[in-house]
């Protein structure tokens, strides 16, 4: 019996197995990891290579070492258990397993961002015979934007006014209406979520920099970084009949990101702490192994059509392994040409995250 099967058996009999690992939190509190995959010794070499190709975060050998320590206790072969020590080993085992990145799609380019593969280009850079200003400069000049509000709303805060606010609302409405016509279900999501939800979506602090806004008086809660988190929480534990899949959801929400970058290319209204985003979220079966790829292509095609309708010059990038977040299986970015910045900038991203028993595809736009 492999490690994953042993753990499933243990948790299925948990009510009768309180002698073993008595204070393990309920299974639903933590993400359900694919231990069949992680604890398969025949996959060790494959997992090591994947870790090396990603951001080299995670130590699969340490996961197996800790599992070898836990294994006899899970099977009930040890009568004398130091519960505190055993709890510490379990927590260390789970924490190490959680660091292991998802598998990578076989077509994902290997390496850093410079290895991204351009798979589609629309339009071309326009030649200007005058000095091009940044959009923020023009908006401020015409009193459509206030960004000098750090004293009341923190750095990188802003107010959109009059026509600029109308443009934002109109673009959101156009996207949502088009998706509703394509059979997407509209869903509203909370701005405040449990911190464990963010962890389940792969949002983990791996440095001294915060990657989520935690509520000071309620540290178990944080501001949502994306509607994906709320939708994932809504779907958690739900079961669907095969004929009910795929399912498509769309949500409009405010997104909160403390890790806003600095520098010339990220100044102004780019990489801000708070913004409005439309999220597309798909849930597919995993019967043939191709369902998520089909959904991913559908979401990318929708966004290509949308940005084409805006007559933007943009490119679609198949992002390389080091640009994939821990839960991502594959990721496409759309980068639009920004004349005032003289550079391309990401305007949306589409991820495919494979979970146990089903696959999840999400994309953000606007």
CATH number given to 113-365: 3.30.930.10
* pLDDT tens by residue, 196-247: 888 888 775 554 456 788 999 999 999 999 999 999 999 988 899 999 999 9
- Dihedral angle computed from the Cα positions of residues 238, 241, 247 and 251, in that order, rounded to the nearest 10 degrees: -20
Give the C-alpha distances (Å, rounded to integers) separating 108 from 53, 112, 118: 10, 11, 12
Highest-pLDDT range among 132-136, 150-154, 296-300, 327-331: 296-300
Residue 55's CB is within 10 A of a number of other CB atoms, namely 16
Residue 117 has pLDDT above 80, yes or no: yes
* pLDDT tens by residue, 171-191: 999 999 999 999 999 999 999
- Of 270, 205, 257, the closest CA to residue 226 belongs to 257
At residue 267, the pLDDT reads 66
Place of tokens 């107010």: 159
At residue 16, the pLDDT reads 35
Q: CA–CA separation, 272 vs 269, rounded Å?
A: 6
**Residue 284 bridge partners (DSSP):** 359
Q: CA–CA separation, 366 vs 172, rounded Å?
A: 7
Residue ranges covered by each domain of the chain: 3-99, 113-365
* pLDDT tens by residue, 57-74: 899 999 999 999 888 877
Radius of gyration of the chain (CA): 23
At residue 155, the pLDDT reads 76
Q: CA–CA separation, 237 vs 246, rounded Å?
A: 16
Q: CA–CA separation, 196 vs 77, rounded Å?
A: 32
């Amino acid at each position: 019996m492999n490690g994953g099967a042993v753990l499933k058996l243990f948790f299925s009999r948990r009510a009768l197995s309180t002698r073993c690992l008595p204070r393990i939190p309920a299974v639903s509190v933590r993400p359900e990891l694919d231990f069949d995959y992680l604890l398969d010794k025949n996959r060790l070499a494959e997992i090591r290579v994947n870790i090396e190709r990603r951001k080299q975060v995670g130590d699969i050998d340490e996961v197996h070492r800790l599992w070898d320590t836990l294994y006899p206790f899970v099977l009930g072969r040890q009568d004398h258990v130091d519960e505190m020590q055993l709890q510490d080993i379990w927590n260390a085992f789970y924490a190490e397993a959680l660091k292991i990145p998802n598998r990578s799609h076989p077509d994902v380019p290997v390496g850093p961002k410079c290895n991204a593969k351009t798979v589609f280009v629309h339009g071309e850079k326009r030649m200007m015979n005058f000095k091009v200003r940044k959009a923020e400069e023009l908006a401020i000049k015409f009193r459509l934007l206030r960004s000098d509000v750090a004293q009341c709303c923190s750095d990188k805060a802003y107010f959109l006014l009059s026509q600029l606010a109308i443009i934002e609302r109109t673009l959101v409405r156009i996207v949502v209406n088009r998706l509703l016509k394509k059979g997407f279900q509209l869903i509203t999501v909370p701005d405040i979520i449990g911190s464990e939800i963010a962890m389940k979506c792969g949002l983990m602090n791996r440095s001294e920099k915060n990657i989520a806004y935690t509520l000071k008086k309620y540290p178990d809660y944080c501001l949502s970084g994306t509607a994906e988190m709320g939708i994932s929480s809504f779907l958690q534990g739900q079961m669907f009949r095969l004929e009910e899949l795929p399912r498509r959801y769309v949500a409009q929400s405010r997104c909160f990101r403390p890790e806003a970058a600095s520098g010339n290319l990220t100044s102004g209204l780019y990489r801000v702490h708070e913004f409005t985003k439309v999220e597309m979220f798909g849930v597919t079966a995993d019967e043939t192994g191709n369902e998520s790829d089909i959904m991913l292509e559908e979401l990318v095609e929708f966004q290509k059509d949308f940005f084409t309708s805006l007559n933007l010059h943009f490119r679609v990038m198949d992002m390389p392994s080091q640009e994939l977040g821990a839960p991502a299986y594959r990721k496409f970015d759309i980068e639009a040409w920004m004349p005032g910045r003289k550079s391309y900038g990401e305007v949306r991203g589409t991820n495919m995250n494979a979970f146990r028993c089903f696959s999840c595809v999400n994309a953000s736009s606007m």
